[in-house]
Structure 1
């Protein structure tokens, strides 16, 4: 059973991302367009996060990602297909003690912009980021052994932040 563990933000998460980025770039060398560190571990002002590195890869053709499943298994990643999000390929690493979540989308997917805007919005709005980090701490204390309840508990705030991020990004693009 997965436990919900929240830790104080650390620069080590950026280092962990950089190490994994190099490996993944080599695996997907013929498909990769871009790669990003996303999620709470990429936002210092959040203060707290699950120690799981979220990585987003943008590829030329999402269908070709499935050709790398065996290589990903050898690296400890579990191919989960779309896993509930159409047009995505999802690979968690670390089984019950997860270390990484890899999300792969094809160029042009709206999900790419959503993830990047969410991160950028929280980087530019530290009060919102801190609020999100504090919610994570409180939920982890409330549901240490009920990861699903932890996830459900933060969903409303995640949706609110995603909406704000979308509007914020739209205004930025419009004024540029």
Structure 2
């Protein structure tokens, strides 16, 4: 297993997402309902694992074999051990690492991911605290991704609850 690395925010990350998004849209055309840059690399100023997280929304996951074949052609591989009901997960490692999270339209996880991203964009103190936790855990567990993920689990769940309340609030002025 590789080293858990937290890097300072890189302004190239949004452009890397956009380049990959062009390829994904060209393969899936109308089957793809939405595509979003999520995770810490989508939050300007946020330290993050240098992995571009992408969320794709499809009408359904019924054609998952077709989806998988198309993604393999783009260099992605399916990670069955990290799939959960209602989600497909793929990785791509070219010079840049990508994680692709695929959800069916209507999944509550779509809102959860967008809320957290937008909340961290709008709340610098929360963004800084989360980055501090990630750096601390990466230092404590440099070669143990499971321990790193477990160490931030409770904090992320609490952060997601705050983010969802904020996201649903008419006063949030988020989506911009």
TM over 0.5: yes
Match for residue 29 of structure 2? 29
Given candidates 145, 157, 162, the residue that maps to 1:147 is 145
Confirm or deny that 1:122 pairs with 2:120: yes
Residues 11-61 of structure 1: per-residue CA shift (max 9 Å, x gap): 111111011000001111131111000000000132x10000000011112
Please report how far the alpha carbon of residue 81 of structure 1 lies from its aligned counterpart in structure 2 after TM superposition: 4.9
TM-score (normalizing by structure 2): 0.90
TM-score (normalizing by structure 1): 0.90
1:16-165 aligned within 5 A: 16-46=16-46, 48-81=47-80, 83-94=82-93, 99-165=97-163
Structure 2 residue matching 1:166: 3-state secondary structure: helix
1:174–1:116 distance in 2 versus 1, CA, 3 Å: closer
Please report how far the alpha carbon of residue 173 of structure 1 lies from its aligned counterpart in structure 2 after TM superposition: 7.7
Please report how far the alpha carbon of residue 137 of structure 1 lies from its aligned counterpart in structure 2 after TM superposition: 1.0
Please report how far the alpha carbon of residue 82 of structure 1 lies from its aligned counterpart in structure 2 after TM superposition: 8.2
CA RMSD, 1 decimal: 2.1
The unaligned stretches of length 5 or more in structure 1 are none
Q: Residue 59 of structure 2 contacts residue 105 of structure 2 at CA under 8 Å; is this kept in 1? A: yes
What is the number of equivalent residue pairs in this alignment? 173
Moved more, 151-160 or 97-106: 97-106
1:12–1:134 distance in 2 versus 1, CA, 3 Å: same
